[in-house]
Amino acid sequence: MPLSHPITRRACLWLASLSLCAASSWAQNPPQVKFSTSAGDFVVEVYPDKAPKTVANFLQYVNDKHYDGTIFHRVIESFMVQGGGFNASYVEKKGRAPVVHEGREALEKGGPRNVVGTLAMARTNDPHSATAQFFINVKDNAFLDPTLIPPGDPVPKFEYQGQVYENTPRANLINAPQLFGYTVFGKVVSGMDVVNKIKATPTGAGGPFPSDVPKTPILINSATLVK
């Protein structure tokens, strides 16, 4: 049936309206997840209207109870606290397939940057490698922000780390690994004092890690969708 058929057009308009309503609802009432940890509780809200695939991936891990029994295995007081991947015996939990990187799209939609209290996905050097691990910024970390690419192809002028590039093919910039940054998809809305307690915990070697591991393990007892 061609898309010009009036019934199909009405159906498309109806579905589009539903999508807009859902996006509006998410913007006004973002989902919230409560983390109950051995250091106390904190709550994060996440933004499906800014980074839909990233948020869906995160909430699926929450619903699957993946985070229950994991630890904050990397804590750097002047940087961030990272967890969600290893249990108390430093055994990495198996995750699902990686989620596509949405950092630029989230910023273009007005999403937050890597500032104090924001929640972002951890990953390897491959921008599209994020699975379950996340981190909370405990400092403004602008160097982790995705780099937005100016319009044009080639891009007439692009500045990065003090250098100016002219007439650069757009694909070269879009696909440059160092320009992806990290996808921010939420923020702490209560219990930041607990996050600050976590960031201040003494660290050292632990398990397979040579440094930055809390000497007293900080356990995520549960992560629960509360809103």
Supply 176's token pair: 């440059």
**142 and 93 together in one domain:** yes
Domain that holds residue 75: 29-146+181-225
Q: Is residue 17 part of a domain?
A: no
CA distances from 68 to 54, 143, 172 (A): 19, 31, 40
Q: What is the pLDDT of residue 227?
A: 79
Q: What is the pLDDT of residue 226?
A: 94
Q: What is the pLDDT of residue 82?
A: 98
What is the CATH classification number for the domain harbouring 73?
2.40.100.10
**71 and 136 together in one domain:** yes
Q: What is the pLDDT of residue 138?
A: 98
CA distance 23 to 26: 5
- Tens of pLDDT along the chain (227 residues)? 333 334 455 554 554 555 455 555 556 799 999 999 999 999 999 999 999 999 999 999 999 999 999 999 999 999 999 999 999 999 999 999 999 999 999 999 999 999 999 999 999 999 999 999 999 999 999 999 999 999 999 999 999 988 999 999 999 999 999 999 999 999 999 999 999 999 999 999 999 999 999 999 999 999 999 97
CA distance 143 to 134: 17
| Number of domains observed in the structure of the chain | 2
**87 and 172 together in one domain:** no
Instruction: Please state the φ and ψ torsions of residue 20, each to the nearest 5 degrees.
Output: -65, -40
User: Is residue 134 exposed (0-12), middle (13-18) or buried (19+ Cβ within 10 Å)?
Assistant: buried
**68 and 156 together in one domain:** no
CA distance 51 to 35: 21
Q: What is the pLDDT of residue 28?
A: 77
Q: Is residue 12 part of a domain?
A: no
Helix or strand (DSSP H, E) at 185: strand 184-190
Q: Is residue 96 part of a domain?
A: yes
Q: Is residue 13 part of a domain?
A: no
Q: What is the pLDDT of residue 13?
A: 56
Q: What is the pLDDT of residue 10?
A: 56
**142 and 155 together in one domain:** no
Supply 79's token pair: 């940087």
